[in-house]
């Protein structure tokens, strides 16, 4: 069930230490496919492992291949028929779960106690990621990409699935966003994807806040009806998504919500010292809920992207070759310069 990188792979060695290492070829088992990687999206977690050697409580102890947002083409199909045929463009599902625990059985496999995610140091041995020329992948973890969708835009499949899960959480808790006034705090890639999906889901208004001008400009391209600098007075809203992970943004969102409002927290908050006006949750009967990664597959999300490529394409800001991985991570760490940064693998 393990994903194994092969060929050149972007490997973090410790805080501030990055290398493109050669990883050996591995023979596939009956249920394994070989995928030629085309693109890998740089996530904030990749940047944090590179900058600090840790993401929250996940601390790097050994060299690890980065990357969990990966698309490519099947070179060799799984011999047991468990995955797509050779030549199929695919997205790699980043999660390995047990499939047997109560959370998995109820369709919440994102909360599986045994979950392993590509490019994560949460467990030891670490779970290598997909920033490599080739991957050995269990066939059942490959999701076909609609043939009309470019792999460059399909590289948004994983973060878009995270955003879709946040909207699914809102639907379960508050009936969704249709005809609602929606607030999204933080216009990083996840926030922008929440904006695009809320727009497609029929939100009446989508207000977006951020500290930087560039992400707000992109937000307007993908469905925002109003953009504001963080700290400016907010208009009336019905529901909110907090995607920045900043305590000040949580405070702003809670304050903006009306009685009965709901806030879905998508951004990863600090492990301590989060101050916010929690007292408002009682007299206003506010609902505050977390949204972690995503449950289920990515097929539905890929179809949505394929049906609206012009809406999602602006979120991809730039791409770099694998040999430019250090520059890619550096640019991705500056939201005033980029949105979703991609690493390009294979021949130019």
**Burial grade of 310 (CB within 10 A; 0-12, 13-18, 19 or more):** exposed
**C-alpha–C-alpha distance, residues 185 and 191, integer Å:** 7
322: in domain:
yes
Instruction: Note every long-range contact of 104-112, with CB atoms under 8 Å and residues 24 or more positions apart, other chains counting.
Output: 107/295, 107/296, 108/295, 109/295, 109/296, 110/165, 110/292, 110/293, 110/294, 110/295, 111/292, 111/295
234: in domain:
yes
Is residue 140 within 8 A of residue 25, CB to CB? The reply is: no
Q: Residue 328 — pLDDT band, cuts 50, 70, 90?
A: very high
Is residue 248 within 8 A of residue 230, CB to CB? The reply is: yes
Summarize pLDDT for 168-185 with one digit per residue, the tens. 999 999 999 999 999 999
296: in domain:
no
150: in domain:
no
188: in domain:
yes
Position 341 scores a pLDDT of 98
Structure token digits, residue 236 = 């009336």
Clarify whether residues 249 and 171 are in a common domain. yes
- Residue 31 neighbours by CB distance under 10 Å: 17
Clarify whether residues 125 and 204 are in a common domain. no
Clarify whether residues 130 and 229 are in a common domain. no
Distances (CA, A) of 236 to 116, 196, 197, 216: 40, 20, 20, 19
Clarify whether residues 166 and 129 are in a common domain. no
> Structurally, how many domains does the chain consist of?
2
Structure token digits, residue 158 = 């994983």
Clarify whether residues 50 and 101 are in a common domain. yes
Average of pLDDT values for 311-319?
97
214: in domain:
yes
216: in domain:
yes
Summarize pLDDT for 103-118 with one digit per residue, the tens. 999 999 999 999 999 9
Structure token digits, residue 13 = 């060695």
Asked whether the predicted pLDDT for residue 1 surpasses 80, the reply is no
Clarify whether residues 70 and 11 are in a common domain. yes
Distances (CA, A) of 76 to 84, 85, 129, 269, 339: 9, 8, 19, 41, 33
Average of pLDDT values for 18-39?
96
Clarify whether residues 253 and 315 are in a common domain. no
CATH number, residue 233? 3.40.50.720
- Residue 313 neighbours by CB distance under 10 Å: 15
Clarify whether residues 329 and 249 are in a common domain. no
Phi, psi of 17 (to 5 degrees): -120, 115
Q: Residue 324 — pLDDT band, cuts 50, 70, 90?
A: very high
Position 273 scores a pLDDT of 82
Position 347 scores a pLDDT of 57
Q: Residue 348 — pLDDT band, cuts 50, 70, 90?
A: very low
**Burial grade of 323 (CB within 10 A; 0-12, 13-18, 19 or more):** exposed
Clarify whether residues 87 and 38 are in a common domain. yes
Q: Is the dihedral of CA 24, 27, 31, 33 positive or negative?
A: positive
**C-alpha–C-alpha distance, residues 51 and 169, integer Å:** 31
Summarize pLDDT for 195-210 with one digit per residue, the tens. 999 999 999 999 999 9
Average pLDDT over the chain, rounded to whole? 95
Summarize pLDDT for 87-104 with one digit per residue, the tens. 999 999 999 999 999 999
Clarify whether residues 140 and 173 are in a common domain. no
**Which strand (E) or helix (H) includes residue 196?**
helix 189-200
Lowest-confidence segment of 113-127, 197-211, 268-282 by average pLDDT: 268-282
- The radius of gyration computed from the CA coordinates of the chain, to the nearest angstrom, equals 20
Domain boundary among 264, 290, 316: 290
Q: Which domain holds residue 75?
A: 4-144+308-344
**C-alpha–C-alpha distance, residues 69 and 40, integer Å:** 5
Average of pLDDT values for 4-19?
96
**C-alpha–C-alpha distance, residues 163 and 241, integer Å:** 10
Total-model pTM: 0.96
CATH number, residue 106? 3.90.180.10
Asked whether the predicted pLDDT for residue 296 surpasses 50, the reply is yes
Residues 102, 103, 104: CA angle, nearest 5 degrees: 95
154: in domain:
no
Instruction: Please state the separation of Cα 21 from the chain's center in Å.
Output: 25
Strands 181-185 and 95-96: unpaired
Clarify whether residues 123 and 246 are in a common domain. no
Asked whether the predicted pLDDT for residue 253 surpasses 80, the reply is yes
Clarify whether residues 167 and 139 are in a common domain. no
Asked whether the predicted pLDDT for residue 61 surpasses 70, the reply is yes
């Amino acid at each position: 069930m393990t994903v194994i990188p092969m060929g050149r792979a972007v490997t973090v060695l410790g805080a501030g230490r990055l290398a493109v290492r050669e990883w050996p070829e591995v023979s596939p088992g009956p249920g394994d496919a070989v995928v030629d990687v085309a693109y890998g999206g740089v996530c904030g977690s990749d940047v944090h492992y590179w900058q600090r050697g840790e993401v929250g409580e996940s601390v790097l102890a050994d060299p690890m291949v980065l990357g969990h947002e990966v698309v490519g083409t099947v070179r060799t199909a799984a011999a047991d028929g468990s995955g797509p045929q050779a030549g199929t463009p695919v997205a790699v599902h980043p999660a390995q779960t047990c499939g047997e625990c109560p959370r998995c059985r109820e369709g919440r496999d994102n909360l599986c106690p045994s979950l392993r995610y590509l490019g994560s140091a949460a467990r030891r041995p670490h779970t290598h990621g997909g920033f490599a020329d080739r991957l050995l992948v269990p066939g059942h973890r490959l999701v076909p990409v609609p043939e009309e969708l470019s792999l460059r835009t399909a590289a948004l499949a994983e973060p878009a699935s995270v955003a879709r899960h946040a909207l699914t959480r809102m639907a379960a808790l508050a009936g969704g966003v249709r005809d609602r006034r929606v607030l999204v705090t933080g216009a990083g890639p996840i926030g922008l994807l929440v904006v695009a999906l809320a727009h497609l889901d029929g939100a009446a208004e989508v207000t977006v806040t951020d500290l930087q001008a560039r992400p707000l400009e992109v937000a307007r391209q993908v469905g925002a009806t109003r953009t504001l600098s963080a700290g400016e007075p907010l208009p009336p809203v019905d529901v909110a998504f907090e995607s920045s992970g900043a305590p000040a943004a949580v405070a702003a969102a809670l304050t903006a919500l009306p009685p009965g409002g709901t806030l879905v927290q998508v951004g990863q908050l600090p492990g301590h010292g989060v101050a916010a006006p929690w007292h408002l949750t009682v007299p206003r009967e506010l609902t505050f809920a977390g949204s972690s990664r995503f449950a289920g597959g990515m097929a539905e999300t890929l179809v949505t992207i394929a049906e609206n490529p012009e809406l999602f394409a602006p979120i991809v800001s730039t791409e770099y070759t694998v040999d430019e991985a250090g520059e890619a991570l550096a640019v991705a760490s500056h939201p005033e310069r980029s949105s979703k940064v991609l690493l390009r693998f294979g021949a130019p």
